[in-house]
Amino acid sequence: MKLKSKLTAFMAVYIIALSFVPFVHDTLLAQERWIGYGIGAYQYLNQHYFVLFNEPYDGSSKPHIQVNPDFAPAARISLLEFSDWTSWVNDHNLFNEFNATARTGQRALDITYSRPEIVLHKFIEVSQDAVKVTFTSEKEFGAHVEVWRWVMTSINGLSIRDVPNPLVIQPTNRIDFTFEDERLQSTGRGSIIMSSVPSQLKIWPHEKGFNRITIDFVNSEMSFMVSGSMEAVGTPAPPWSYTLLPYVLPVIAIFVVALYLLVDKYGRTFKNRALGSSG
Amino acid sequence: MEERSRIVLLAVAVRIAIAPFFMHAGDVGTIYESSIMTLKGLNIYDFVYARTMQIQNATGLPVFFEGYAYHPLLIYFFVPFYWLFTLIAGPGPVMIDGHYPAVPLLIYPWTPLMLLMLKVPIILADAFVVYLLAGIDARKAQIYAFCPYVIFISAVWGMFDALVAVFLLASYLVSSRTNLLSGVFYGLSLMKLYTAVLLPLYIYRLFGKWRALTEFLAGLAFTLLPVFYFLAASPNSIWNVLVTFQGARLMGGVNLYNFIWVVQDLTFDLIVSMIPNIILVAALIWLIPKLSRSAPLLESMLTVMLVYFLLGKVMNEQFLVAIFPLMLLCRECDHRLWIFPFTFVFLRSPFYYFALPILWASPVFYSYYLEADVVWRDLQAAGYLQMPMYAVGVAFSLAILWNLLRVLETTPAGTIMGSDAFGSFSQSPILSTARKIRSLLSRFGISRVRYASYASDPQRSMTSQR
């Protein structure tokens, strides 16, 4: 075989082989561990949940918990988002007024928020059943935590028709909510179980539903066990999602390489014919 | 007016007309910020290193702050023009922040003037390239002067690969006359570190010619004096910024490796990013000795750079500008290769991102920006842009391969293209027989017998270096 053919064959194999890297990673390595990426974000994926903890420059999605529906595993449906932008501890904003560092442990993602007078940890643990977000400190602290979803159709049995204005609801350690997903034509259910009853719970209506729940508590530790599921109502079309890219890239690689080989082989022949050359 | 001057003036005029209104916020912001610090006498590497340590502490990940990660000399090409700007506009801030993922805050009416002044060195570099090319072939000078890709990278983006291009071209053009200057110009081309791959080639070609090699290395060492100074003054900072960051950089760009952007796992990505390094080093170790010392320098340089662009892990959109003049001088190369990185620019960054100086000038335009940005982010989040980006990356790599194989055919390395792979040209039994026949014929006065396996004349280069 000529060197040119060997080099071309090597490149073709090299390109196609490497195009499978995302697929291999997605299938074998991406599951059930905290993975850091980008400019400092973390993600965790298992069969039921995808959890994103955003990069240090962004106060949203701290974390953002998403559900992978059984009937559409590639779809990630937003379940609940904790926001540091709109959460306070001892009247100090978690995003702007604390120094935050992230580290991965054996099971949990550990976010340390520090100020001269207090050090606070936020642990995020993911299991097949739920995502547990725990705030803990050696000292007692007063917290105002906001969790968001656009939008919840009902919270603890209350719908937008019952609550046209922000409403303080009966303190409880369990919040149940429902939501809908138009793209998948399905409904979802979610729940938040807190380790103790907060001092205040408030729900905020927004257009077609509720978009946030504010939780105030005073304690040295508070955990939020978040779980959710989706039920198919109609017959949704298989959705396109970013998560399908690892399956598509090898197809693109094979197509482009095949095109190159065809042009390399026949392109010159056509050109030579046109030029009347036999070479 | 003579043709040469006319082309140069037109090239400059086109760039000056565009330059004040466009920019890549991240890259221009880096030069702006570094110019300010240099004027204040601050150490730019200490700043970048401190920010990197800050991010790594916050995230627990090997993330690097993408600031000034270039040769120390580079900033001194921009500082005089920034200083001139401050004489007119004063020392107040004109561009506040702008490092990814933030977009900058721009202060008017000074932003367009600041952009123009910071792009003057780049425009001058383009003008010199056009001038040098016009001295060889006016048609090629016109191609460089008015190529949309080159204009975009220099005048719209504000990226300075034109400086690399002019010094690389100058190093090549003077190499047959003075090795000292060739070394100086080559050293200056290291403003972007990717031309470092050419150093083994230069040394290999001059190896054994001790005086020439000493002159070349002396010229190179002269340009490296600022690096030595920073290595002595703050070794950790410059090492982290130039070596650790550039060496441990994530692969990707307009190449076959940008699939890695889909894999959101930094530790894994960094490990996989070692593969191209291994393949590239192996390819260069195999290739450079195959490029004979007497082979045309132009083709040899292009071969090495094309191998780097093909196999190296990072291939940013603007890198091709650096070898664009050399490609124009090489008959075997197809300069239309620029279409791939030019297309890629608009897949990777939204077109309006380059027009921030215009869009930031009015609240109405700003609202258009916000609307367009929502659409762009939706496309990005759905993965619709990653597919064409990957396709263009692979296609560009294959187009480089095609050019590389054509250039290789003109070099002694390419003479084995027609024979068994990896066999030595000089050891080929066919050629050995041919040599014997030639020797025999020459005794009878028939001196010119061509090697049957020569794919093309190795002296076809327009400005071949002997």
Residue A138 within any structural domain of the chain: yes
Give the residue from chain A lying closest to B101, CA to CA. Answer: A57
Weakest-pLDDT range from B54-68, B86-100, B148-162, B440-454: B440-454
How much is the pLDDT for A163? Answer: 87
Sequence-distant (≥ 6) Cβ neighbours of residue B58 within 8 angstroms: A40, A56, A100, A101, A102
B390 and chain A in contact, CB less than 8 A? yes
- Element at B233 (helix H, strand E): helix B225-233
The answer to whether residue B465 scores a pLDDT higher than 60 is no
Please state the φ and ψ torsions of residue A41, each to the nearest 5 degrees.
Answer: -90, 160
Tell me the pLDDT band of B437, cut-offs 50, 70 and 90: very low
- When scoring B52, B261, B263 by the number of chain A Cβ atoms within 10 A, the one with the most, hence best to mutate, is B263
Q: Does A274 touch chain B (CB under 8 A)?
A: no
Using CB atoms, which residue from A101, A252, A257 is nearest to B57? A101
User: Residue A63 and residue A42: Cα distance in Å, rounded?
Assistant: 9
pLDDT tens readout for residues B440-451: 444 444 333 333
CB–CB contact B259 A30 (8 Å): no
Do the chains contact at B381 and A40, CB–CB below 8 Å?
A: no
CATH number for the domain spanning A97: value is 2.70.98.10
CA distance A177 to A158: 9
| Per-residue model confidence (pLDDT) at position A174 | 96
Is there a single domain that holds both residue A267 and residue A149?
A: no
Peptide bond into B101 cis (omega under 30): yes
Q: Provide the pLDDT confidence category of residue B431 given band limits of 50, 70 and 90.
A: very low
B-chain CB neighbours of A103 within 8 Å are 60
Q: Does B232 touch chain A (CB under 8 A)?
A: no
**pLDDT digit string (tens) for A196-216?**
999 999 999 998 899 999 999
| Rounded Cα gap, residues A219 and B11, in angstroms | 69
**Inter-chain residue contact A40 with B269, CB threshold 8 Å:** no
Do the chains contact at B279 and A4, CB–CB below 8 Å?
no
B404-B405-B410-B416 Cα dihedral, nearest 10 degrees: 130
Planar angle of CA A68, A32, A180, nearest 5 degrees: 15
Say what the pLDDT of residue A269 is.
Answer: 54
Residues 40-99 of A with CB under 8 A from B: 40-41, 43, 55-58
Calculate the average pLDDT of chain B.
Answer: 88
Where are the domains positioned within chain B? 3-416
pLDDT-derived band at B425 (thresholds 50, 70, 90) equals very low
Tell if the CB–CB gap between B60 and A36 is shorter than 8 Å: yes
- What distance, in Å, lies between the first and last C-alpha atoms of chain B? 34
Identify whether residues A59 and A184 lie together within a single domain: yes
Same domain, A120 and A250: no
| Cβ proximity of A28 and B49 under 8 Å | no
Considering the domain architecture, whether residues A183 and A258 belong to the same structural domain is answered as: no
CB contact under 8 A, A241 and B383: yes
Distance separating alpha carbons of residues B337 and B150, to the nearest angstrom: 12
In Å, how far are A274, B140, B401 from A125, measured between CA atoms? 67, 62, 48
Please identify among residues 203-242 of chain A the ones whose CB lies closer than 8 Å to any CB of chain B. Answer: 240-242
Q: Is the dihedral of CA B9, B15, B21, B27 positive or negative?
A: negative
> Is A256 in the same domain as A159?
no
Domain range for A248 is 3-18+244-275
| Interchain contact, B266 vs A36, CB within 8 Å | yes
Which H or E element spans position B394? helix B386-408
Query: How many contacts, defined by CB atoms under 8 Å, are there between A and B?
Result: 136
B401/A55 touch (CB, cutoff 8 Å), yes or no: no
Shared domain for A221 and A255, answered yes or no, is no
Helix (DSSP H) and strand (DSSP E) numbers for chain B? 23, 4
Q: Tell me, yes or no, whether A159 and A248 share the same domain.
A: no
The enclosing H or E element of A139 equals strand A131-152
The residue of A15, A20, A271 whose CB has the most chain B CBs within 10 angstroms, and thus the best one to mutate to test that interface, is: A15
Alpha carbon distance A57, A40 (integer Å): 9
B241 and B249 Cβ atoms separated by less than 8 Å: no
pLDDT tens digits for range B270-283: 999 999 999 999 99
**Window B:234-293, CB contacts with A under 8 Å:** 256-257, 259-260, 262-269, 272, 275, 279
How many angstroms away from the CA of B332 is the closest CA of chain A? 15
**Confidence at residue B212, expressed as pLDDT on a 0 to 100 scale:** 94
Taking CB atoms and an 8 Å cutoff, what residues of chain B touch A256?
A: 391, 394-395, 398
Q: Which residues in chain A show pLDDT less than 50?
A: 275-279
Whether residue A77 is contained in a domain is answered as yes
Work out how many domains chain A is built from and give that number.
2
**Residue A117 placed within a domain:** yes
Q: How far apart, in Å, are the Cα atoms of B241 and each of A25, B64, B238, B373?
A: 29, 9, 5, 32
To the nearest whole number, what is the mean pLDDT of chain A? 90
* pLDDT for B462 beyond 50: no
**Cβ count near B210 (within 10 Å):** 9
How far B242 CA lies from chain A's nearest CA (Å)?
Answer: 19
What is the C-alpha separation between B373 and B394, in angstroms, rounded? 27
A6: contact with B, CB 8 A cutoff: yes
From the list B256, B264, B310, the residue facing A43 with the nearest CB is B264
Q: Say what the pLDDT of residue B217 is.
A: 97
Q: Do A245 and B386 touch (CB under 8 A)?
A: yes
Which run of H or E residues covers position B27?
helix B25-39
Looking at the structure, do residues A215 and A263 belong to the same domain, yes or no?
A: no
Count of Cβ atoms closer than 10 Å to residue A27 Cβ? 12
From the list A6, A29, A245, the residue facing B262 with the nearest CB is A245
Kindly indicate the confidence band of residue B463, based on its pLDDT and cuts at 50, 70 and 90: very low
| A24 belongs to a structural domain | no
pTM over 0.80: yes
How many angstroms separate the CA atoms of B114 and B185, rounded? 28
Task: Work out whether strand A131-152 and strand A118-126 pair parallel, antiparallel, or are unpaired.
Answer: antiparallel
The reply to whether B391 touches chain A by the CB within 8 Å rule is yes
**Residue A186 sits in the same domain as residue A249:** no
- Please answer yes or no on whether A43 and B382 come within 8 Å at the CB atom: no
Joined tokens for residue B136: 């060889």
Q: Which residue from A66, A37, A45, A64 is spatially nearest to A53, judged by alpha carbons? A: A64
Q: pLDDT grade, residue B291 (50/70/90)?
A: confident
B222: amino acid identity, one letter: F
Regarding whether A252 and A119 lie in a shared domain, the answer is no
Residue A137 inside a domain? The answer is: yes
pLDDT over 90, % of chain B: 77
State mean pLDDT over B297-301.
Answer: 93
The alpha-carbon gap from B314 to the nearest alpha carbon of chain A, in Å, equals 15
At residue B424, the pLDDT reads 38
Q: Note whether A193 and A69 are same-domain residues.
A: yes
Residues of chain B in contact with residue A41, where contact means CB-CB under 8 angstroms, are 264
Look up the ipTM and state it: 0.86
Residues of A in contact with B391 (CB under 8 A): 252, 255-256
Q: Band the pLDDT of B412: cuts 50, 70, 90.
A: low
Whether A138 and A249 map to the same domain: the answer is no
The pLDDT of residue A279: 36
Of B61, B254, B384, which to mutate for an interface test with A (greatest number of A Cβ within 10 Å)? B61
> Which residues on chain B are in Cβ contact (under 8 Å) with A249?
259, 262, 387, 390
**What does chain A come to in residues?**
279
- How far apart CA B367 and CA B364 sit, in angstroms, is 5
Q: Which of A5, A11, A101 to mutate to test the interface with B (most CBs of B within 10 A)?
A: A11
Decide if B128 contacts B150 (C-beta within 8 A). no
